[in-house]
Structure 1
Amino acid sequence: MTLPSETTSAVSARGLTKRYGRKTVLDAVDFDIPENTICGLFGRNGAGKTTIMSILTAQNFATSGNAWIFGEEPYENRRALSRMCFVRESQKYPDDAKPVHAFAAARMFFPNWSDDLADQLIDDFHLPTTTRIKKLSRGQLSAVGVIIGLASRADVTFFDEPYLGLDAVARQIFYDRLLADYAEHPRTVVLSSHLIDEISNLIERVLVIDDGRIVLDEDAEDLRGRAVTVVGAESAVNEFVDGREEIHRERLGPVASATVLGALTHTDRERLRELNLTTSAVSMQELIVRFTQHADATGTTAEQHATAPRGAFR
């Protein structure tokens, strides 16, 4: 089955479902990731992130529904598979393999492989290329995956948290090299990560999965302006948030803070001053966490939030 050309994206899914016995890991998932986009795939452990990526890369089978890479199903599709690179934290290598062997194999598989970029990254990460992979530290093992993912320059690259073994300096090198090479060689990159704030400035698209369902699918720039936290006397906070969609609240004595969805207007800011309330920005990580908690509590997805009347889910 081929996805109709008018709806073709780099990565697409319709009704994607995966069950193991009675357990539903993915529940009729729909999404599209545009070509030449860095997309963050977020969710708690066990939410379904790795399952999605495994199905998209033909390393797992869906129970029902469809997945496409540039409009083509990936299973037994040599053309589609050659356009993808999937790097995961638990990547396995032969016992006697060395990084130099892994890079030589990648060079043969990925048509856009860059030796120059691989060599630069090997130097950046101080990676010993002739040491057996099973003897490498966790950080060095992560570096092997990161180098393959970046130097492959595949049309679609999935990173399933392979960089968690890197220290903060090495992760920053990864982010910097990713952005620099992406600017010169645009492609679609999907980053699965728990370090949401750390990669928030990299991503252009946000997908959040929770309990097998997509609860947020949005342009990152739009998401950044979706919410604000209002702080002050609880009575004043109550007055301001009345009729708005509140997704989180905290209290400390007579002071309350409420996180509400929606951009502030000029009138809103005047009202905040009148009520002696202050505001603070909501980080992408906090917003995603709050949105996920809110969806758990209400059973409401992001699409339903977008179309529902204001205040409907308070």
Structure 2
Amino acid sequence: MSFTASLRDVTLKYKDTDALADVNLELEAGKIYGLLGRNGAGKTSLLSLLAAFRKPTSGEILIGGEPVWENAAVVSRVALIREGGDFDDADTVKAAIDTGQIRPGFDTEYALKLAERFELPLKKKVRELSRGKRSALAAVCGLAARAELTMFDEVHLGMDAPTRDAFYKELLAEYMDRPHTVILSTHLIDEVANYLEEVIIVDRGRILRHEELEVFQGMGATLTGPAAAVDAVAAGLEVLAEQQLGGTKAATVAALDPGARERAAASGLEIGPVGLQDLFIHLTEPTRKGA
């Protein structure tokens, strides 16, 4: 069974508020997706529906062509790992890892190897772990679940930079070794961009954009070079972000027409892809028409 995920006309209400409204989304199996959105945009609600933690108010959610709600055969192959993990019933790190064995594909040997890599003492009580170590434990359990659809909801929170880097590399290695579907919900956008194949932007409970990463990167450009030359080319363009160090400046613009591209090249400016984070901020700006 292909683990393609589909949301069709899905709405999720909390009392009188729409957490998600009329969502239609198709996720092909075997890709790494980035799920982006401002706080309260509906990211966690969407992941909770895919994991069957919640039932939609209306609409249909299918995984592999089958409804996910109250479908144990499908849900057992889906893992949603939330920030800090769900270890309330586990006493020690080893007990938390052992709990993962309820999943049919859970790889205990791999989990123990990861625990050593992330310096998680097996006998230490979960409640005594720092926020970063607890996040690392959640990541370990998510990777070792060997699920066909694995979703990480801000699981990196609390991790320091070296630990996050190790997590991303382990995630990619595991994905290459065993192709499956991964969804990363994160605010550290530029940090994970190089690992993503497709990006989904959720805004105010709706899917704002869903494109391949290259499409987003082609929506603008970053111009780098002497400040005066950058300003001259960027004049009249929509500037998303600017940075300057001494006489060198970088300006990210929303679009670069052929004429502006020619002027930039003639001025000796370096032309790079638009930063995904800058573009995300631009697309979800509350005052932006249509956002």
TM range (shorter): 0.7 to 0.9
Tell me which moved more, 218-227 or 51-60: 218-227
Alignment of 1:112-127 (within 5 A): 112-127=105-120
- Cα 1:147–1:278 shift into 2, 3 Å: closer
- The amino acid of 2:231's aligned partner reads G
Equivalence for 1:131: 124
Find the partner of 1:61 among 55, 59, 66. 55
| Alpha-carbon distance, 1:280 to partner | 5.3
| Alpha-carbon distance, 1:9 to partner | 5.7
SS of residue in 1 equivalent to 2:22: strand
Matched, 1:88 2:82: yes
Distance 2:282 2:175 in 1: 31
Distance 2:183 2:173 in 1: 16
SS of residue in 2 equivalent to 1:200: helix
Distance 1:146 1:249 in 2: 33
Percent of pairs identical after alignment?
36
Equivalence for 1:52: 46
Distance 1:93 1:136 in 2: 11
Find the partner of 1:212 among 199, 205, 210. 205
Equivalence for 1:33: 27
Taking structure 1 as the reference length, what is the TM-score of the superposition? Answer: 0.80
Matched, 1:232 2:231: yes
Contact 1:9–1:32 (Cα < 8 Å) also in 2? no
- The amino acid of 1:237's aligned partner reads A
Consecutive unaligned residues in structure 1, runs of 5 or more: 301-314
| Alpha-carbon distance, 1:74 to partner | 1.2
Contact 2:148–2:180 (Cα < 8 Å) also in 1? yes
Show CA shifts across 1:97-154 (max 9, x none): 22211211212x2222223321221111110112221111111111111011001110
Equivalence for 2:226: none
Equivalence for 1:103: 97
Alignment of 1:4-15 (within 5 A): 10-15=4-9
Alignment of 1:1-314 (within 5 A): 10-94=4-88, 97-107=91-101, 109-229=102-222, 231-233=230-232, 237-238=235-236, 241=237, 246=238, 248=240, 259-261=253-255, 265=258, 268-272=260-264, 279=271, 281-293=273-285, 296-299=287-290
- Cα 1:222–1:158 shift into 2, 3 Å: same
- Cα 1:141–1:273 shift into 2, 3 Å: closer
SS of residue in 2 equivalent to 1:13: strand
Distance 1:215 1:296 in 2: 15
Show CA shifts across 1:200-257 (max 9, x none): 11111100101111111001122222212464238x722xx4xxxx47487x9xx996
| Alpha-carbon distance, 1:157 to partner | 0.5
SS of residue in 1 equivalent to 2:231: strand
SS of residue in 1 equivalent to 2:235: helix
> In angstroms, what is the RMSD of aligned CA positions?
2.8
Contact 2:151–2:183 (Cα < 8 Å) also in 1? yes
Distance 1:96 1:209 in 2: 34
Taking structure 2 as the reference length, what is the TM-score of the superposition? Answer: 0.86
Show CA shifts across 1:78-114 (max 9, x none): 111111011101533235522211211212x222222
Distance 1:76 1:199 in 2: 33
- Cα 1:206–1:96 shift into 2, 3 Å: closer
Show CA shifts across 1:1-53 (max 9, x none): xxxx9xx7622111111122322111111111110111010111111000001
Contact 2:90–2:96 (Cα < 8 Å) also in 1? no
Show CA shifts across 1:266-300 (max 9, x none): x553244568987554211111111222x752115
